[in-house]
Amino acid sequence: MDPWTCYRLFPSSVLKKIKFYSQGFEFDTELICKLVRYGLKPKEVPIDYSARSFEDGKKINVFRDGPKALIAILKYRLK
């Protein structure tokens, strides 16, 4: 599952019950972890998109943002 592709669909009633703390790319991980805790099961749906290069403005980086995502998983999913 790629939480950073920015496509999500879920009941807004669940979103209103969740308090968020993250402000960077780890927000996506926090959102997914908390939705799973509420009993929602993420499903992958094929989409067509062209990934941006760093020259095009891509900002996510596996070495900078990967550890933040892992910490968010530990913090919000395994709590």
User: Do the domain assignments include residue 19?
Assistant: yes
The range of the structural domain enclosing residue 62 comes to 7-44+56-76
User: Do the domain assignments include residue 49?
Assistant: no
User: Do the domain assignments include residue 15?
Assistant: yes
User: Do the domain assignments include residue 51?
Assistant: no
For every one of its 79 residues, what pLDDT tens digit does the chain have, with 9 covering 90 and above?
Answer: 566 666 777 888 888 888 999 888 788 888 888 888 888 888 777 777 777 787 887 777 788 888 888 888 888 887 7
Q: How many domains does the chain have?
A: 1
Angle (CA) 76-48-68 rounded to 5° is 25
pTM above threshold 0.75: no
- Looking at residue 56, the DSSP 8-state letter turns out to be T
Separation in Å, CA 68 to CA 27, 58, 61? 10, 17, 11
